[in-house]
Amino acid sequence: MADTVAPMCGRVVTSSTPEELAEYLGADEIVATLDAPDHNVPPTRPLPLVWEETGGPGCARKLGTARWGLVPSWASDPSVGNRMFNARAETVAEKPSFRSAFKRRRCLVPIDGFYEWGPATPGSAGKKQPWFVHRADRDPLVLAGLWESRTVEGSGGLRTCTVITVDANEDLSAIHHRMPALLPPDGWSTWLDPDLDDRDLLEALLSPAPAGLLHRHPVDLRVGNPRNKGPGLMEPVEVDTAPGDTLFGAAVTP
């Protein structure tokens, strides 16, 4: 497979253990886990997922997994999810592919970082430069997502998800105009509540992250091929810079 530039937001890192995520996100039950850490996850692969289910006394917050790429309940072909791995915050409540899930099936997608491709640098031979983005404090990034579930003949249930995107904040705007919608802890319960259908309240949670929350550094072009794996993909690399290059600002980790 040739190297590719992942679309926004199209490549993430999932390295925290299920136990770590359950504790961090307050999950009551772990119902499914990823096979192993993955430092280069493309769409169509599994992601960790937290959602709430009603029934009995109150809601149960569950940690499981879902295939990245939402398949709407009305879709006859599950492969439609291959291109529905992102949903724009500006249209998610109205677009037929997402509006049903936005009303009742919202979730948290915890990851440890993501890759974004910015403009080529003087030494990149014209290729876009990949960057690794993570929280400055190294806690997991908690992304706003939606999920759907359906029965697939011969393979049981299939849970799928999408990640919502918003305008980039100051930490990322030099390399891309969009970023995943990050939810702070005080917004998790509101976002997860399956009985809440207040569009204005929900959309208010979907905003660019505060400046300074994220750090980024350039990484090797090998991350462009999703077959390349391992924690070494996250390591910083030296890249040539042009005078006054705004890609290298205060948000860049050493």
The contacts of residue 213 (CB under 8 Å, 6+ apart) are: 135, 136, 169, 171, 182
- pTM exceeds 0.95: no
Q: How far apart are CA 254 and CA 251, in angstroms?
A: 10
For residues 134-147, one letter each, b for 16 or more C-beta atoms within 10 angstroms of the residue's C-beta and e for the rest, the string is bbeeeebbbbbbbb
* Active site (catalytic) residues: 9, 116
Residues, the chain: 254
CB-based contact 115:131 (threshold 8 Å): yes
Q: How far from 185 is each of 33, 95, 119, CA to CA, in Å?
A: 22, 27, 33
Distance of CA 184 to the CA centre of its chain: 14
CB-based contact 148:70 (threshold 8 Å): yes
CB-based contact 9:165 (threshold 8 Å): yes
> The domain 12-234: what is its CATH number?
3.90.1680.10
Question: For the chain, what are the domain ranges?
Answer: 12-234
List the pLDDT tens digit at each of the 254 positions of the chain. Answer: 445 555 667 899 999 999 999 999 999 999 999 999 999 999 999 999 999 987 666 679 999 999 999 999 888 888 888 899 999 999 999 999 999 999 999 999 999 999 999 998 877 778 899 999 999 999 999 999 999 998 766 556 799 999 999 999 999 999 999 999 999 999 999 999 999 999 999 999 999 999 999 999 999 999 999 999 999 999 999 887 665 555 665 444 43
Q: What are the residues facing 162 on neighbouring strands?
A: 146
The contacts of residue 254 (CB under 8 Å, 6+ apart) are: 217, 236
The contacts of residue 68 (CB under 8 Å, 6+ apart) are: 41, 42, 43, 44, 45, 46, 47, 85, 160, 161, 162, 163
